[in-house]
Chains A and B, each alone.
Chain A
Amino acid sequence: MLIRRKVKNMADKMSIILFSGTVDKLMPVGILASGGVAMGMDVEIFATFWGLQALSKGASEQPPRMSKDFEDMAPMMMQMMQEKNVPSWIDTLKNAKELGNVKVYACSMTMDLMGMNKDSFIDIVDDVVGVGEFVDNAKDAKITLFI
């Protein structure tokens, strides 16, 4: 009875699998996480492969990468975003983290494969998890996205 009540009172959850590492996919992750926080949801992001790479200290100092499909439009997009002072996706995500319950998990398999450790990332990463644990967490989510 007690347990059931606890579950009922839990915030809705949005689970995002962040696979991509190009700015056109990273931006929406920051924005959607903000939207989740705004609507009172817990947000968890499982960063894997290129998405995790984008959270490495090295990548965050590099100019953002654009998807190959839209590379002809990249200079125009970048200029537009700069002129209009659009915050970086990392800043958007940090802001969401400050205002709500947003957790960023690094994929352990990607870390092993790419020779990364917890120090490889900017301080936005909360923990390292395997796919099993992420799926176990995500099964309660109201919204699940693969980006």
Chain B
Amino acid sequence: MSEELEPTVTVDARGSFCPGPLMELIRAIREGQVGDIIAVLSSDTGSRRDIPLWVDNAGHEMVGIFDKEDHARFIVKKLK
């Protein structure tokens, strides 16, 4: 259901290694507006744990993680 949310920004970090996708997400959050939906595509295994952990620490919303064939799609909502 959450996957149908239209992201404000999609960050394609596929092929980037830890901590690349996480850092790209942080940059996108910083540059975005409150309420923005940011999608991050990552093929990095570490993202699975690092991204939700960071989102929780930073006080944003982890809307969902969706597995694709060769990557995962992380949907994050900027809350502040």
The interface-forming segment of A2-10, A79-87, A117-125, A133-141 is A79-87
CA distance A99 to B54 in the complex (A): 14
Q: Mark B1-25, 1 if CB is under 8 A from A, else 0.
A: 0000000000000011111101100
| Given contact pairs A85-B15, A86-B17, A40 touches B23 in the complex (Cβ within 8 A) | no
Question: Is B27 a contact partner of A99 (Cβ separation < 8 A)?
Answer: yes
Question: Which of A84, A85, A95 sits near B23, CB closer than 8 Å?
Answer: A95
Question: Which of B17, B18, B57 sits near A39, CB closer than 8 Å?
Answer: B57
Question: Is A35 a contact partner of B15 (Cβ separation < 8 A)?
Answer: no
CA distance A95 to B16 in the complex (A): 14
Chain A: interface residue count, which band?
10 to 19
Interface residues of B in 26-55 (CB under 8 A from A): 26-27, 30, 50, 54
CA distance A35 to B27 in the complex (A): 14
CA distance A39 to B54 in the complex (A): 7
Chain A nearest CB, measured from B44 CB (Å): 11
The answer to whether A31 has its CB under 8 Å from any CB of chain B is yes
A-B residue pairs in contact (CB < 8 Å), sample of 29: A31-B18, A31-B19, A34-B19, A34-B22, A34-B23, A35-B19, A37-B23, A37-B26, A38-B19, A38-B22, A38-B23, A38-B26, A38-B50, A38-B54, A39-B57, A40-B58, A84-B15, A84-B17, A85-B15, A85-B16, A86-B17, A87-B20, A95-B23, A96-B23, A98-B27, A99-B23, A99-B26, A99-B27, A99-B30
Taking beta carbons and an 8 Å cutoff, which residues of A are in contact with B?
31, 34-35, 37-40, 84-87, 95-96, 98-99
